[in-house]
Structure 1
């Protein structure tokens, strides 16, 4: 099996310089509140009167740094044609979502002081001791909580970043923002991850990450052995009266990196969503081509339908569970998924 190589390049462009936003404390709550509201308004973190009401009486405010940082302390990266200037070696990193963003922050070996928390995610056990649970939610980032950690870098996945921009919830001036690129398709995560780590002057980290991933793949292949030789697997999901088959996704790419024959059907996918193909409960014949099915949402009512239960792999008991926290991410999640697939296909024995 060929290994995954980190040979991609990244081409940053130059952006205007950024300034740090350290926290300062004050005993005067009224003055503190006024300054923070003014700061947040200037920075574009919260832009509506309704959002201001959620702030309450805050215990910290931000102030602009008047100094100009040396250029070698900053690095410029490009994500989706947007250029971001980031600290080369951040000291206080706050992670705003516990999937791709946390995966990347851990891989980059950033000093995480606080992170969004998902108790069901395997990434939580990798969070450094002492890192705090960030207040707020993915849908509603909490200004008070974020500012209280005096961050010099925020890390967020591109999907959530786009959401925050659309809703006017977060601007780039509260602190530099690293927008994590997980690839334009689910299967391009390796290239995107390697390129972004390299652009951040963490090429050595990228090399170590790829080496760890290849080592995990080798262990998982050894555990699978010949269980799936000459056989195929389907990576599927159940919801909204349908069963879907993944085509060009993160999970499919990991299974293919394991050397597995993965059943796909991109030819019949909707033009606007080629990553998966959706079938009604009366159109499940394609799944009979699979010897093993890795199914997201196995407890969904669709998975109890008579037509699904007639699928060959389902009748044989050759169905595994694709966990939500493993269906998307970067290398740490991919390693966990590879090991999980190797464990779940043991039902084929």
Structure 2
């Protein structure tokens, strides 16, 4: 469904006088769940927004931009945003958007403290938690009175497309940013798209430049080590299964290793296939506490035979950072981990 904050044209194309427009808009708002004391203000705002030029040009206060769905109209100066992804949230905050302009995010049951990146950002602490991404609570979103919803979209992903449709059904303009995490260039493109969403394109370019400068500085320092060791990133699953996962930063820094490619994203290794992990260094993302993951891996007799285990080159990291964090702040924290591991 198209992104629009204008409800009146969707009712019909009949020319109505102002009183009739008002009644129709109030009725539409009521049916959409805009109840309570804010109804009159919301209806008046929508009535003004629907007063576009007769030639069909966009209502004032909106701008047409490109997102992952095509051309969309979003506020030229968004004031009340819902950010529907933790990496999008961290990126938007790093772009300098004041937290008071963010009226909600989807942080899961643990809230901000459950994310390794957001809990390092004091500005995120008081942003309202609207629930869990993917199980969209339309009433909670509408109740926050946003003028823009920002999400991340993976092209061709049915789950992401369903989420986009559900968020668009709120009637609030939705910007679908690029969900980039498979390569370094994709991660920079995500930042660029968030800059478009929140109207901070120059800040996005500067943020990308600073992050790349940090990465290149570490790459220079690593080159002093001579040949780099091979590295594999593992994430643990149930019943002895481990996942060999792609990692854009390890790739960008030039570490060799038998890692999943960006086309694969992840390789599933059963308990019997663990001996396929032959890299010099293993980085393990811990889903639960580190001791639990250590014990889980140690239950497999193949684990102690791996070269990295025998040489003491297994390093445990926060899975919410390494497994699913790909904002610029996440990149900075992961680069810190890499310096610690390979110093």
Q: TM-score, normalised by structure 2?
A: 0.70
Partners of 1:96 and 1:141 within 8 A in 2? no
Question: Which stretch of the first structure deviates more once superposed, 276-285 or 333-342?
Answer: 276-285
Q: Which position in structure 1 is the counterpart of 2:22?
A: none
Q: What pairs with 1:149-228 in structure 2 (closer than 5 Å)?
A: 149-158=144-153, 163=159, 166=162, 169-183=166-180, 185=182, 188-193=185-190, 195-197=192-194, 199-200=196-197, 202-218=200-216, 220-221=218-219, 226=224
Is the CA contact 2:61–2:75 (under 8 Å) kept in the aligned structure 1?
no
SS of equivalent residue, structure 2 residue 132 = coil
More helix by share: 2
- Unaligned 5+ segments in structure 1 are 1-14, 22-32, 42-56
**Structure 1 counterpart of 2:265, from 275, 290, 303:** 275
Output one character per residue of 1:251-291: Cα deviation in whole Å (capped at 9) or x when no partner: x211222333343355xx9xxx7122222222233322x11
Deviation at 1:20, TM superposition (A): 6.5
The answer as to 2:65 corresponding to 1:76 is yes
- 1:193 to 1:170, Cα distance in 2 relative to 1, 3 A: closer
Greater RCO, 1 or 2 (C-alpha within 8 Å, sep 6+): 1
Aligned residues: 294
Residue 336 of structure 2 aligns to a residue in which SS?
Answer: helix
Q: Tell me the equivalent position of 2:82.
A: 94
Does the aligned pair in 2 maintain the 1:105–1:155 contact within 8 Å?
no
**TM-score, L = length of structure 1:** 0.69
**1:1-349 counterparts in 2 under 5 A?**
18-19=4-5, 38-40=31-33, 61=39, 62-63=42-43, 65-67=46-48, 68=52, 70=59, 73-79=62-68, 81-98=69-86, 100-110=87-97, 111-117=101-107, 118-121=112-115, 122-126=117-121, 128=123, 131-158=126-153, 163=159, 166=162, 169-183=166-180, 185=182, 188-193=185-190, 195-197=192-194, 199-200=196-197, 202-218=200-216, 220-221=218-219, 226=224, 229-240=227-238, 241-246=240-245, 249=246, 252-264=247-259, 266=261, 274-288=264-278, 290-297=279-286, 299-300=292-293, 302-304=296-298, 305-326=300-321, 327-328=323-324, 329-346=326-343
- Comparing 317-326 with 63-72, greater Cα deviation is found at 63-72
CA RMSD of aligned residues (A): 3.8
Ranges in structure 2 where 5+ consecutive residues have no aligned partner: 8-25, 53-57
**Residue 12 of structure 1: aligned partner:** none
Aligned partners of 2:282 and 2:308 also within 8 Å: yes
Question: CA 1:223 to 1:133, structure 2 compared with 1: closer, same or farther past 3 Å?
Answer: farther
TM superposition shift of 1:213: 0.6
Cα displacement (A) at 1:86: 1.4
Change (3 A) 1:292 1:16: closer
**What is the CA–CA distance in structure 2 between the aligned matches of 1:87 and 1:321, rounded to whole Å?**
43
- Using the alignment, how far apart are the partners of 2:266 and 2:127 within structure 1? 36
